[in-house]
Structure 1
């Protein structure tokens, strides 16, 4: 006697025997990729800064307090020996918990080729590691650095663009409450600069 249910069961069994291992392998690979964060949009963001020639964004730290970026000054254009930093505008953020974008950070300092300087965002304006942004997640933001150089032909204001990127850090304490402080640190100069201390906090 013909039994259609038996025929369907046999077809299903043959299908599982033929394709079961392939389906199992696909599931295992998907689980591994998910655990590695492949499907997390923030994991596709590079942790390496780029652009900003003749400057180099050597490192960046972002936490629940602020964004801090360290720059190295390369060879300045048009034969200039010094440059005056005007401002840094940040836009198109990824991985930030704050929404104050675009934002322009005023700068006030003079740098020379081979020197370094650090830009710090205003407190609570640009930050990470809060409102669901976890430690270790990647962040990135476009930057436009305005600076002025003095050449034999006169003063020229230029713009340098690039991407600032890194990995969110746990909450740290930032001390920057000094009178007439600016948003820039220029080591080895007499110009007024923000005095800061970044301190790691250990959760019990």
Structure 2
């Protein structure tokens, strides 16, 4: 007949003997996590996506009051008529959305500034934002007008006003 109590007793003795060490390691880990030692360094401004209209990251920012300012470059190879800029930060809320419908004519290779204001933006300086940006534009090639939308993501830290 096998005795079942020996393994359970060994486990209990282990916990009773080393539980203080396990607790200390857990507390040190929690303190280090709260201090931000495991942070992946979110200070880098990056972008993904975007087809022909590309952001110039050095001239792009989202401030703590929700003001989005970005410089984009026309890489379409022809004149583009930009008629829509839509910015959404789903990191904070799905309702943080702004639309700028002012029309701008941009020659090939030229830069243009896009602005947009996210009303009631709940961010503070240093918070990470992830902005979904959609740029609507028209180009004319061979007398034919075609409508396009370039969509991408810009990620960075909120800046002071």
SS at match of 2:103: strand
How far 1:21 moved relative to its partner?
2.0
- 1:18–1:58 distance in 2 versus 1, CA, 3 Å: same
In the other structure, the counterpart of 1:31 is: 31
| Structure 2 unmatched runs, 5+ | 1-10
How far 1:24 moved relative to its partner?
1.4
Structure 1: 4+ residue segments shifted above 3 A: 11-17, 43-47, 125-128
| Structure 1 unmatched runs, 5+ | 1-10, 172-204
Question: Do the aligned partners of 1:95 and 1:138 also contact (CA within 8 Å) in 2?
Answer: no
> Could you list the per-position Cα deviations for residues 43-86 of structure 1 after superposition, in whole angstroms to 9, with x for gaps in the alignment?
88984222121122223312226111221222x1xxx5211111
In 1, Cα distance between equivalents of 2:152 and 2:43 = 14
In the other structure, the counterpart of 1:134 is: 124
TM-score after normalising by structure 1? 0.59
Alignment of 1:1-204 (within 5 A): 15-36=15-36, 47-59=45-57, 60-63=60-63, 64=65, 66-74=67-75, 76=76, 80-91=77-88, 93-95=90-92, 99=95, 101=97, 103-122=98-117, 125-126=118-119, 128=121, 131=122, 133-171=123-161
Write 1 or 2 for the structure with the bigger share of strand.
2
Larger RCO, structure (CA 8 Å, separation 6 or more): 2
Query: RMSD in angstroms over aligned alpha carbons?
Result: 3.2
> Could you list the per-position Cα deviations for residues 80-114 of structure 1 after superposition, in whole angstroms to 9, with x for gaps in the alignment?
52111111122353247x9553x321132122332
